[in-house]
């Protein structure tokens, strides 16, 4: 992997707006953002309804993923470009899920919706009609997904990277500050996890920092990227952003996203938890 094969610029997207092999998908946390306007030709993916199982807490099954991509009119050999609000958090989550089910060519629009808007580029409200396909997914790539038992076993052994804000890591906040704070799980972080907020990997306009800056960010925080790494946040979307940085931009092989994240871990009975600004002991 390299930056060029996983990230595209806004200029690149403008040059490929009429390319039939490029499918633009907008993924937002605020699922009404697309309805107001979007990049011409882009199709809406509703994070809440389209990328998760409707009943259980889980991502889509292979069959559900196939049905989604068929409905969106995506073929396995299409280049899928994902973008969205919140600095591409949910677009990165979708990217990770697309990779989990083996879609070959997926890319993120660098800077997402915010950079596009700050550049004053064209947004439209026409909703395109795409012809459905018969999409066949691959078997899940479990090398990029961590489950809770592996996370508990990683304490003091593998790299754990908590990408939430310092206040969430320390336990002073329970959710990102644009959301109400009343939730059920306990505050804190997984002992030994380093706190490297996802935002340190991005510029103010939402674009990713340079490869050199990114490498320095993790090495300065004492993360040995030769060791296995598990990234987590609250629900797995911001950690997808960091997973994207490490595995897709920097090409670090052994990086997993723990999509159960703090909403699962902080609700488990009997597991160790650290509070405060220090990582804590195994």
Partner 1 sequence: MCGATTGGVSLDDVDVAKETIIQGVVYRDDAPLAGAYVRLLDSSGEFTAEVPTSATGQFRFFAAPGTWTVRTLAPGAESVDRSVVASKGAVNTVDVTVG
**Applying CB under 8 A, does 182 fall inside the site for partner 1?**
yes
- Cα torsion at 206, 25, 261, 101 (round to 10°)? -130
* Count of chain residues binding partner 1 (CB under 8 A): 28
β-pairing, 7-8 with 106-109?
Answer: parallel
Decide if 276 contacts 171 (C-beta within 8 A).
Answer: yes
Q: How far is the CB of 71 from partner 1 (least distance, A)?
A: 28
**Rounded Cα–Cα distance for residues 55 and 58 (Å):** 8
Q: What is the pattern of x (binds partner 1, CB under 8 A) and - over residues 204-223?
A: xx------------------
**Rounded Cα–Cα distance for residues 110 and 43 (Å):** 18
**Rounded Cα–Cα distance for residues 34 and 251 (Å):** 31
Q: Which two tokens stand for residue 111?
A: 């800077």
- Please name which of 168, 165, 146 lies closest in space to residue 157, comparing C-alpha atoms: 146
Contacts of 54 (CB under 8 A, 6+ apart): none
Q: How far is the CB of 5 from partner 1 (least distance, A)?
A: 27
Residue 41 designated active-site: no
- The piece of 82-90, 126-134, 226-234, 254-262 that touches partner 1 (CB under 8 A) is 82-90
In DSSP terms, which residues pair with 42 in a beta bridge? Answer: none
- The piece of 4-12, 46-54, 168-176, 214-222 that touches partner 1 (CB under 8 A) is 168-176
**Applying CB under 8 A, does 1 fall inside the site for partner 1?**
no
β-pairing, 43-46 with 7-8?
Answer: unpaired
Decide if 76 contacts 103 (C-beta within 8 A).
Answer: yes
In DSSP terms, which residues pair with 274 in a beta bridge? Answer: 189
Active-site entry in 10, 170, 233, 274 = 233
Q: Could you say which of 54, 120, 126, 131 contacts partner 1 (CB under 8 A)?
A: 120
Site for partner 1 in 218-277 (CB under 8 A): none
Q: How far is the CB of 84 from partner 1 (least distance, A)?
A: 12
For partner 1, the closer CB: 19 or 167: 167
Q: Could you say which of 176, 236, 260, 266 contacts partner 1 (CB under 8 A)?
A: 176
Q: Could you say which of 167, 183, 217, 251 contacts partner 1 (CB under 8 A)?
A: 167
**Applying CB under 8 A, does 136 fall inside the site for partner 1?**
no
Q: Catalytic positions, please?
A: 233
Binding footprint of partner 1 on the chain (CB under 8 A)? 30, 33, 85-87, 114, 117-120, 165-167, 172-173, 175-182, 197, 199-200, 204-205
């Amino acid at each position: 992997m390299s930056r060029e094969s996983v990230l595209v610029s806004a200029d690149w997207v403008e040059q490929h707006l009429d390319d039939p092999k490029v499918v633009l998908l907008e993924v937002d946390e605020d699922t009404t953002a697309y309805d107001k306007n979007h990049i011409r030709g882009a199709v809406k993916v509703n994070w809440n309804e389209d990328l998760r199982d409707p009943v259980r807490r889980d991502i889509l099954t292979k069959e559900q993923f196939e049905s989604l991509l068929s409905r969106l009119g995506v073929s396995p050999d299409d280049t899928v470009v994902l973008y969205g609000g919140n600095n591409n958090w949910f677009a990165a989550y979708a990217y990770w899920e697309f990779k989990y089910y083996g879609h070959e060519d997926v890319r993120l629009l660098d800077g997402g919706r915010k950079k596009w808007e700050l550049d004053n580029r064209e947004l439209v409200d026409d909703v395109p009609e795409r012809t459905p396909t018969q999409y066949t997914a691959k078997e899940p790539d479990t090398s990029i997904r961590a489950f809770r038992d592996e996370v508990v076993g990683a304490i003091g052994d593998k790299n754990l990277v908590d990408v939430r804000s310092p206040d969430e890591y320390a336990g002073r906040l329970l959710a990102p500050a644009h959301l109400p704070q009343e939730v059920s799980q306990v505050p804190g972080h997984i002992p030994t996890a380093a706190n490297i907020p996802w935002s340190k990997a991005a510029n103010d306009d939402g674009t990713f920092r340079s490869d050199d800056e990114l490498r320095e960010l993790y090495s300065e925080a004492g993360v040995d990227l030769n060791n296995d790494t598990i990234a987590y946040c609250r629900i797995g979307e911001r950690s997808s952003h960091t997973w994207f940085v490490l595995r897709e931009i920097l090409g670090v092989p052994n990086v997993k996203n723990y999509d159960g994240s703090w909403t699962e871990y902080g609700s488990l009975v009997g597991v160790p938890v650290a509070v405060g600004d220090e990582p804590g002991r195994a």
